[in-house]
Chain A
Amino acid sequence: MHDKHSSCTHCGIAISDRASAIFSDKGEAFCCWGCETVYKILRKEHFSLINKPSTKLPEYDFLDNDSFLKDYLVSVDNMKGMRFFVEGIQCTACLWIIDQIPDWVPQVEKVHLNMSQNTLLVSMKESGYFGKVASVLSALGYKAYPIKNLDEAKHFQKKENHQQLMRLGIAAACTGTIMLFSFSLYSGLKGQMADVFGYLNLAFFIPILIYCAKPFYNNLWRSLKARRPSIDLPIVAAVIIGFVLSLFNLIRGNEAFYFDSLSVLIFLLLASRYFLSRTQQRFINSSYLQTFITSQTCRRWNSENHEYEQVPARHLNVDDKVLVEEGERIPADGAVVSEWVNINPSILTGESLPQKLFKGSEIFAGTQVVSDSVEILVKRTTDNSRIGQILKKVEEQIYNKTPLISLTDKAAQYFSIFVLAVGAVFFSFYITIDPGEAVKRTLALIILACPCALALAIPLTQSLSLRKASRKGYLIKNAESLEKLNYVKNAFFDKTGTLTQGKFEFLKWKSPDMKESRNFLPDMKTLNAIYSIEVNSQHPIARTLVKYLEGECVNKLPANSLTEIPGSGISGIVDNDHYKIISALPDDEDEDDSDIISSLTSIYRNGDLVAHACMGDMLHNDAKQTVAQLENMGIKTYILSGDKRIPVSSVAKKLHLADDQISPNLFPEKKNEIVKNFPDSLMVGDGANDSLAMSADTVSIAVQGSVESCLVAADIYVTKEGVSPVEDLIMLSKNTFSVVKRNLVFSFIYNSAGGLAALLGYISPLTAAILMPVSSLTVLFSSLLGTKFLRRFNK
């Protein structure tokens, strides 16, 4: 019904991505939450938002905790500030609405939104209101993550950015001047004046050689130390040899110098590298997010005051008693003290069914309390808890990740070895004929054969692709990950929360004969009866059903002679009718495409079956298509899940995956092992149990709504719902690398031709000055043209 809306009702931007668009009840479409809110304000529908500030959400309480602030507070102009990474920033309306934050939270002095990085800096005179700011953001529809204050590291990174830009600027100025001066030489200037211009060229080349080209020396040194081939070797060789040769010629009064070609080369290389580094989303690196679990506060029982006090989770000790409210996460491993509790363990284990735990049973940190609050006795502190151990391993693995030797580096390595070998053969052969000419021609070969075009075009192609991806909401941490995606042969998906929505909820009713499931609805009398009986049950499945029925305007009637039936069921009498409600595992016969039924509840009235209630999880709409497309591309898809076999195989069945492509009942460590054993694998996940596998030597994608540890571990973070981004990203990577390969071929042809001409003695400084930029321009043109067809990607 929304198909007529192809552009945002408020700002008019075309909606390219329907999944992230917002549709109102009246059928209007918006590109982002900012537009939706602004539109409502303009239509005066949303006055309450303007007048009264929204309430502070308890889930953001930890933001104002002293021990949390210690690591996250930044000082801005003598004020206290905090940086957030904000999801969902799209257009000017977002900027406008976020700029209104001081109106809702008067303590806020200033907000500064950086739209290119999606970061928000909030500053205020006194701390204590950051939780409120985050709550307002979430009320507006944005999700905000605090960014750790890394005073030194952050400062260093900023300085590094500035340095890069300054190098680029100085290289541009010097190159321009050198080219201007060289022009007179090429037009035939001779004599004393020619010498003056020669030395001026040298004078302007020295800052380039010493200051601007420094990153190349550093990179070369680093790659030599690590014994990894890199493109910097031929570049540095060409620059140094070219400089020495030109210097000799200048002193000897010979006009053959290459200052202009070399400076253009360095300038273009710096420029392409600067663009690439600007498009990489490095700010989501391992130091960016702390986990929720260690930074949240919890209520610890103080036996002296006989009340609960707020303490940070990491201050908990063994044998402390802690109260955890509904909806919160358990802060530490422990034992249940209360009579019972319903928990959702999916973050930790991937299991889709909520569990009921009784007094004394073990409860793990990170699991979420689904219904009613619980008291636990801490057995292991947050750091030593199961999730804490996993996170520690994740950090270790990220640190020890083997870097990819990129295609460019491989090509450069072979090419430079080839050129040096040809040079050596030529030199030893020609030295018997004319020693002076042999030296000259060999050096000209080395300078000209430098695959500069290669070093230039590939970063540019990659940065164009990264930019395309980030426009779509795919944040790629570095270009390496994009290249790795190109080689993927095996794709591993998590089930709960990745292929499915990750929520356990009521799905639909089914008639007693299990057929004609569509539009079947039990009558109001039955609904009332079910509600009246189930409301007395503590079972998680009953709770889910009750939650759904509460939204259906049911009435509570008196229910008598309630009996729990062992094996998850309850019976009772309402209005003189005897009802029996029994939950069971579903039979595997469901045909509906997206519903993953993990619990089938049968309702009997006076012994007759009247209806089935199906509860479970839902597949993402795009899951089936994505998996099919991946198979078409020759990528084998697997499901790795911590869940039981039945729900996993029912997902696999719907996605048409064979039995050997699923592995249920996996621990996080086991997932890691499986992924490690497959070469060229891709891990897609969302939970803490996936983060270990995601930090392995694979490329990994964290889907929308992932827990923080996943964002840290993953190479690519998707801010769009569903799994279709996986397909998009692989397509993008393949397209990018076909352009890269074409550039390699171009570059090879050019350099071979240039090298041959140099060996035959045809290369004068003028020819070099023309040949070098022309080859660079050709590949630049080729990459621009190549990424142009990537525009399809945006549609």
Chain B
Amino acid sequence: MTILYVIIPIAIFLVSFFVWIFLWAVRNEQFDDLETPAHKILIDDWNDRLKEAKI
């Protein structure tokens, strides 16, 4: 059962890591608009046009 002393800290570390990633994503406004990006991926020249604009 001593393996538990290794597994439990690892579990706690993993949980904190994922919570940290989630909080980062929320603060980074990744969840603010869930619909538009799904449509944007269908538009072919999305990135091409941006490049053109920069040149």
A-to-B contact residues, CB < 8 Å: 91-92, 95-96, 99, 102, 113-117, 158, 161-162, 165-166, 169-170, 173-174, 176-177, 180, 193, 196, 200
Contact = CB atoms under 8 A, between A and B. Distances in A.
Contacts of B53: 102
A57 B27 CA distance: 40
B6 interface: no
Interface in B13-31: 15, 18-19, 22-23, 26-27, 31
Given A166-B23, A169-B26, A193-B1, A177 B11 contact: yes
B43 interface: yes
Given A99-B43, A113-B36, A115-B39, A162 B15 contact: no
A95 B43 contact: yes
Contacts, number: 54
Contacts of A166: 22-23, 26
A596 B47 CA distance: 54
Given A92-B43, A99-B43, A177 B36 contact: no
B26 A91 contact: no
Interface string B43-55: 1000000000100
A483 B22 CA distance: 35
Contact of B40 (A95, A117, A162, A174): A95
Given A158-B32, A165-B26, 5 more contacts: A115-B36, A117-B33, A161-B32, A170-B19, A177-B15
B33 A91 contact: no
A433 B29 CA distance: 59
A116 B36 contact: yes
Contact of A116 (B8, B22, B34): B34
A167 B43 CA distance: 35
B35 A116 contact: yes
Nearest to A117: B33
A8 B23 CA distance: 41
Contacts of A158: 32
17 contacts: A91-B39, A92-B43, A95-B43, A96-B43, A116-B35, A165-B31, A166-B26, A169-B23, A169-B26, A173-B18, A173-B22, A174-B15, A176-B15, A177-B11, A177-B15, A180-B11, A200-B8
A200 B11 CA distance: 11
A456 B31 CA distance: 22
Contacts of B26: 162, 165-166, 169
Contacts of B31: 165
Top 10 A-B residue pairs of the complex, sorted by shortest distance between their CB atoms: A116-B35, A115-B35, A169-B22, A92-B39, A115-B36, A114-B33, A173-B19, A95-B39, A165-B26, A92-B42
Nearest to B50: A110
A117 B18 CA distance: 29
A173 B36 contact: no
Contacts of A114: 32-33, 35-36
Contacts of B27: 162
Nearest to B27: A162
Nearest to A112: B36
A161 B29 CA distance: 10
A166 B22 CA distance: 8
A196 B34 CA distance: 41
Nearest to B38: A115
A795 to B, nearest CB: 23
Given A116-B33, A177-B11, A180-B11, A169 B19 contact: yes
B15 A115 contact: no
A196 B11 CA distance: 14
B9 to A, nearest CB: 11
A94 to B, nearest CB: 9
Contacts of B39: 91-92, 95, 115
A555 B15 CA distance: 82
Contacts of B23: 166, 169
A96 B23 CA distance: 31
A165 B36 CA distance: 19
A180 B14 CA distance: 13
Contacts of A193: 1, 4
Contacts of A91: 39
Residue among A173, A176, A196 with the most chain B CB within 10 A? A173
A309 B41 CA distance: 48
A92 B4 CA distance: 52
Contacts of A174: 15
A193 B4 CA distance: 9
Contact of A115 (B4, B11, B18, B33): B33
Nearest to B39: A92
Contacts of B19: 169-170, 173
Contacts of B42: 92
A92 B32 CA distance: 19
Contacts of B33: 114-117
B42 to A, nearest CB: 5
A204 to B, nearest CB: 8
Nearest to B42: A92
A251 B27 CA distance: 38
Nearest to A161: B32
A391 B29 CA distance: 36
A173 B1 CA distance: 25
A120 to B, nearest CB: 10
Contacts of B12: 177
A653 to B, nearest CB: 46
A174 B11 CA distance: 11
Contacts of B11: 177, 180
Nearest to A102: B53
Nearest to A94: B39
A166 B18 CA distance: 12
Contacts of A161: 32
Contacts of B4: 193, 196
A460 B23 CA distance: 24
A592 to B, nearest CB: 44
Contacts of B18: 173
Nearest to B40: A95
A117 B34 CA distance: 10
Contacts of A170: 19
A658 B43 CA distance: 56
Contacts of B40: 95
Nearest to B34: A116
B36 A95 contact: yes
Nearest to B36: A115
A276 to B, nearest CB: 16
Contacts of A117: 33
Nearest to A189: B1
Nearest to B19: A173
Nearest to A92: B39
Contacts of A96: 43
A166 B43 CA distance: 32
A792 to B, nearest CB: 24
A115 B33 CA distance: 8
Contacts of A99: 43
Nearest to B41: A92
B35 to A, nearest CB: 4
A758 B50 CA distance: 65
Contacts of B36: 95, 113-116
Contacts of B43: 92, 95-96, 99
Residue among A91, A166, A193 with the most chain B CB within 10 A? A166
Nearest to A103: B49
A95 B42 CA distance: 10
Contacts of B1: 193
A193 B31 CA distance: 40
Nearest to A165: B26
